[in-house]
């Protein structure tokens, strides 16, 4: 009995100390721990391929921190054990080689994410028009968007900004605000429209910038390049495409 007591005291003490240490460790870990849903998303986006060397890592993968203090999704990078070691334990004063920096790691990670999520994005067609599939009369402006694929649904985020000479018009609200998500099933088309004010139909050509983001089934957004349109009002009855952002002159 007494021998057991002698054993039990220090064991309990150790256990308590262990708990204290563990508790502190856990607290510290929780502070910068990624949300479980973010870890799942990161692993889906790279299909469990290391976001540095690109190898298929299977269970030998970790969702590592770019900055050890931050726990937001943009700070996560899936890495194989080798690459995690190489990024985390590199001596910055070592005279040979070159340290990985966060900008490089993010760019490489995004490229791997893109490689494994791009095939989930169907071809999508969209345009601004008064005629054809839309048939609208100013001040009503027609917008058409279609999921041309026959496999995956996709959600579109559409933002339209209008300007005249140096004046930016107030932002579109609702469907064209860039905040609403449009559900586009395979083979699905939407013919939508928005109003411009009478004040916009006088004098200067009307310019429109359209930004579209496509959100795949794993919730990764693929931003498309902005598309610009110009309507000459009095001298034309439809919009024409302006491919140069500089010519269009409407910042995001």
Residues at the contact surface with Zn ion, assessed by CB under 5 A? 50, 52-53, 80, 83
Dihedral angle, C-alpha 37, 212, 152, 78, nearest 10 °: -30
Cβ–Cβ under 8 Å, residues 52 and 78 = no
CA dist., res. 204 & res. 44, Å (int): 48
Which residues have CB under 8 Å from 36's CB, separation 6+? none
DSSP tag of 123: P
- Shortest approach of Zn ion to residue 62 CB, angstroms? 10
Q: Taking the CA atoms of the chain, what radius of gyration do you get in angstroms?
A: 27
Q: Cβ closer to Zn ion: 109 or 231?
A: 109
| Tokens representing residue 50 in the block | 């290391």
Q: Cβ closer to Zn ion: 64 or 145?
A: 64
CA dist., res. 127 & res. 241, Å (int): 9
- Shortest approach of Zn ion to residue 109 CB, angstroms? 11
Q: Cβ closer to Zn ion: 83 or 248?
A: 83
Q: Cβ closer to Zn ion: 52 or 128?
A: 52
- Shortest approach of Zn ion to residue 57 CB, angstroms? 7
- Shortest approach of Zn ion to residue 53 CB, angstroms? 3
- Shortest approach of Zn ion to residue 76 CB, angstroms? 15
Which residues have CB under 8 Å from 196's CB, separation 6+? 138, 139, 141, 162, 169, 206
Q: Cβ closer to Zn ion: 80 or 210?
A: 80
């Amino acid at each position: 009995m007494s021998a057991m007591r002698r054993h039990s005291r220090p064991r309990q003490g150790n256990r308590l100390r262990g708990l204290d240490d563990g508790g502190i460790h856990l607290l510290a870990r929780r502070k910068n721990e990624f949300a479980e849903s973010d870890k799942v998303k990161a692993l889906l986006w790279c299909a469990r391929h290391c976001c540095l060397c690109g190898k298929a890592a299977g269970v030998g993968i970790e969702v590592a921190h770019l900055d050890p203090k931050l726990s937001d999704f943009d700070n996560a990078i899936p890495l194989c054990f080798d690459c995690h070691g190489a990024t985390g334990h590199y001596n910055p004063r070592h005279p040979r080689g070159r340290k990985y920096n966060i900008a490089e790691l993010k760019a490489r990670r995004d490229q791997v994410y893109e490689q494994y999520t791009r095939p989930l994005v169907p071809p999508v067609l969209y345009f601004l028009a008064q005629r054809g599939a839309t048939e609208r009369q100013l001040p009503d402006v027609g917008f058409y968007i279609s999921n041309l694929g026959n496999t995956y649904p996709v959600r579109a985020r559409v933002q339209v900004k209008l300007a005249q000479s140096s004046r930016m018009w107030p932002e579109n609200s609702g469907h064209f605000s860039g905040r609403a998500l449009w559900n586009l099933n395979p083979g699905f088309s939407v013919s939508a429209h928005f109003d411009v004010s009478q004040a916009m139909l006088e004098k200067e050509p009307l310019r429109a910038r359209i930004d579209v983001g496509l959100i795949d089934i794993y919730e990764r957004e693929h931003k498309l390049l902005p598309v610009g349109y110009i309507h000459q009002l009095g001298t034309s009855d439809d919009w024409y495409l302006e491919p140069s952002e500089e010519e269009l002159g409407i910042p995001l």
